[in-house]
Structures are given as structure tokens and as C-alpha cells.
Amino acid sequence: MKLTFLADLFGSIAAEAALLHLFHYGESYGRAISSDFGVSLDSVQKQLDKLERTGILVSKWQGRTLVFSWNPKSQAATRLKDLVSVAYDRIPPDLSTVKFATRRRHRSKDKPVISDQK
């Protein structure tokens, strides 16, 4: 499902998903983007590879997972991030909470887990 104008601009829902996911989380990997947006893993990985080849993204290995993030040395990445920001701000709040519901950051060791279930 197309969320913003980025899918039309880049010609792919996978590209839109990758850019929005990276904007929201700062860094991400293919399987997380694929599962959150319901897009095939292969198409997401191709988009991430293309964005890395153009210098927009950089990658690093964390264990067996290749994690992508914005290239801090690229002026084009900074400008593209500004464009993605405009698209991100136009996502309706109800869709935003569905697409970005997964907690991706580690929890502090001593912090208690609060459950909604009773």
C-alpha cells in the first residue's frame, strides 16, 4: 500500500518503505522494513543496495545482519532526508502507529516491562 508521494517519485513501494523506515528509526535492515510494510524482502534489499551504491546510505555488519543508515558525509543524503521528512509528516497518525509500532531500540537492563494485559 502506497503511503506517500515517494512511491510515485521513486517508482517503487519498496523504495518508499525503505526511506520512511530509515527516516523513522535512523537505521534499519531489510527484513525489518519488509515485515513492517508488507513488501517483499528481495525488492527492499535491491532498493537498499541501490541507495548504498549512490552514496545515500552506508551499511555496517552487526553480527550477521547488514544494517543501513543515512550517509552523514553525503549532501545528497541530507537533502533527500529533508524530502522524506515532508512525506513522513503527511502520513496520517493512524497509519503511522501501525507502520512504526515495533520497538527497535534496546531496553535498559533494570527497566521493568509494563504490560497492557491484565
Q: What mean pLDDT is predicted for residues 104-109?
A: 60
The model's confidence at residue 92, banded by pLDDT at 50, 70 and 90, is confident
Name the architecture of domain 6-99. Orthogonal Bundle (1.10)
Of 43, 45, 80, 36, the closest CA to residue 66 belongs to 45
pTM of the full predicted structure? 0.81
The model's confidence at residue 118, banded by pLDDT at 50, 70 and 90, is very low
Q: Give residue 93's pLDDT.
A: 78
Q: Give residue 99's pLDDT.
A: 62
Pairing of strands 57-62, 27-28: unpaired
| Domains of the chain, residue spans | 6-99
Q: Give residue 114's pLDDT.
A: 64
Distances (CA, A) of 94 to 90, 99, 100, 101: 12, 9, 10, 11
Q: Give residue 30's pLDDT.
A: 96
Instruction: Cell numbers for 77, please give them.
Output: 543524503
Cβ-contact 68, 57 below 8 angstroms: yes
Considering only 14-18, 40-44, 69-73, 91-95, which range has the smallest mean pLDDT?
A: 91-95
Q: What mean pLDDT is predicted for residues 88-93?
A: 86
Amino acid, res. 99: K
